[in-house]
Structure 1
Amino acid sequence: MSFKQWGIGFLCGSTLLLTACRVVDLDENGQPIIPADPNAKASFANQTPAQIAQQTWNTKVLTPAQSHALDSSTLKTRAGSAKNESVFVKVQGNIDRVSLDNERERTVTINVNGQPLQVQVGPMIRGNAIRDATGYKFEDFTNQVQFAQLSKAYNREAAKHLPKVDDSWQQQPVTVLMAVTMRNGALSDAAAISLEREQP
């Protein structure tokens, strides 16, 4: 009986003499299955934006947001700089207004550094704030369509984790973890990642 019939094979390295051998599994065609290099850079080439968003939600969005979100005072300092960027922010305060005019695009307005900020709470969220706050760059993706569509995928993923907001949230104390884009000192495209109602 051959080793191929057993579904195993030998990979051997040699110069003039045999120096090393190790047993590897064979695929259905009898070819050796080479384990993936653990140090290789992650590739998104064959993944849909939805798959990327689902698989990286905790590692690229939720955990960094929980660990490194700016508070309102740090946000004020950063927003005063000339740099345009998207960041994670954590804010506590009362909801001044709940907007339910558009059933698909609900928002809550919360005071941030003395200014009202509309925060998108789904089910539809627009903008690139979440994707850009992760630190992903255009060049990280060989398929550039993925990068363009990843914003929508992350926005949809965020909406899955948010509570349904209604009029009962009006004037209620909340903690909101969000991504927000800063342009020339102004805040825009704020998108909630988590929204929790606190005890009054």
Structure 2
Amino acid sequence: MSLKQWGIGLLCCSALLLTACRVVDLDENGQPIIPPDPNAKASFANQTPAQIAQQTWNSKVMTPAQSHALDSSTLKTRAASANNESVFVKVQGKVDSVSLDNERERTLTVTVNDQPLQVQVGPMIRGNAIRDATGYKFEDFTNQVQFAQLSKAYNREAAKHLPKVEESWQQQSVTVVMAVTLRNGTLSDAAAISLERGQP
């Protein structure tokens, strides 16, 4: 092979290599930015509970709650056999009463399957119902503290999206989407994630 032919071959190989190479963006320190593997398990190791709650609010709370919330009849059947299970529920009805005695922990009472249910509407919400209804498990997180704090973060995030409930809500039609914990046929720790007043 002549030198000229060898040079042409080298140029062709170089061109092929350049074509096959994928251009990778660099960060501010000149290091390559490797895109995340879409099939990799989500890692929350370097995120605060507040960041996790904010970033997953729509995907893990609002979208599943709006799409798969149990109605009253399905809830009744589920509650009969469930023990310490949290689910999303959607209820339409009238507000029986509003509790404003504690400015930080307001509740409204709605009738669910002929039973009054107090629903927390913020600004302070207690319990693990929202977090547990998402399906997250302890193993998904770095440690027990992070997992526990995620409940508080989700509760605070819920309160940010809820309207302020006042006395004028009493006896008004309302649609409530909430997370609730089922324990031996009873409903507890009900926490609103969406409230719409005036719905039939």
> What TM-score bracket applies, with the shorter chain setting the length?
0.7 to 0.9
Contact 1:60-1:134 at 8 Å conserved across structures: yes
**Using the alignment, how far apart are the partners of 2:199 and 2:59 within structure 1?**
29
Matches within 5 A, 1:10-89: 21-27=21-27, 30-89=30-89
How far did 1:49 drift?
Answer: 0.4
Question: What stretches of structure 2 of length at least 5 have no aligned partner?
Answer: 1-16
Contact 2:131-2:151 at 8 Å conserved across structures: yes
Task: Determine whether 1:127 maps to 2:127.
Answer: yes
For residues 27 and 167 of structure 1, do their structure 2 counterparts lie closer, same or farther at Cα, with a shift above 3 Å needed?
A: closer
How far did 1:145 drift?
Answer: 1.7
For residues 199 and 182 of structure 1, do their structure 2 counterparts lie closer, same or farther at Cα, with a shift above 3 Å needed?
A: closer
For residues 185 and 142 of structure 1, do their structure 2 counterparts lie closer, same or farther at Cα, with a shift above 3 Å needed?
A: same
Q: Which residue of 1 aligns with 2:184?
A: 184
Determine helix, strand or coil for the equivalent of 2:132. helix
Q: Give the % identical residues.
A: 90
Q: Which residue of 2 aligns with 1:95?
A: 95
Q: Which structure dedicates a bigger proportion of its chain to helix?
A: 2
Give the greater-gyration-radius structure (CA): 2
**Using the alignment, how far apart are the partners of 1:33 and 1:111 within structure 2?**
53
How far did 1:27 drift?
Answer: 4.5
Question: What stretches of structure 1 of length at least 5 have no aligned partner?
Answer: 1-17
For residues 28 and 192 of structure 1, do their structure 2 counterparts lie closer, same or farther at Cα, with a shift above 3 Å needed?
A: closer
For residues 30 and 92 of structure 1, do their structure 2 counterparts lie closer, same or farther at Cα, with a shift above 3 Å needed?
A: closer
Q: Which structure dedicates a bigger proportion of its chain to strand?
A: 1
Contact 1:45-1:143 at 8 Å conserved across structures: no
- Structure 1 residue runs of 4+, over 3 Å off? 20-23, 25-33
Q: Which residue of 2 aligns with 1:3?
A: none
How far did 1:77 drift?
Answer: 0.4
Q: Which residue of 2 aligns with 1:198?
A: 198
One-letter code aligned to 2:70: L
Query: Per-residue displacement from partner, 1:20-55 (whole Å, max 9, x unpaired)?
Result: 644334445554333322222111110000000000
TM-score (norm 1): 0.85
How far did 1:142 drift?
Answer: 2.0
**Using the alignment, how far apart are the partners of 2:110 and 2:76 within structure 1?**
15
One-letter code aligned to 2:79: A
**Using the alignment, how far apart are the partners of 1:96 and 1:157 within structure 2?**
26
Contact 1:95-1:110 at 8 Å conserved across structures: yes
Q: Which residue of 2 aligns with 1:146?
A: 146
Determine helix, strand or coil for the equivalent of 1:139. helix
TM-score (norm 2): 0.85
Query: Per-residue displacement from partner, 1:59-105 (whole Å, max 9, x unpaired)?
Result: 00001000000001110000111433000000011111100000000
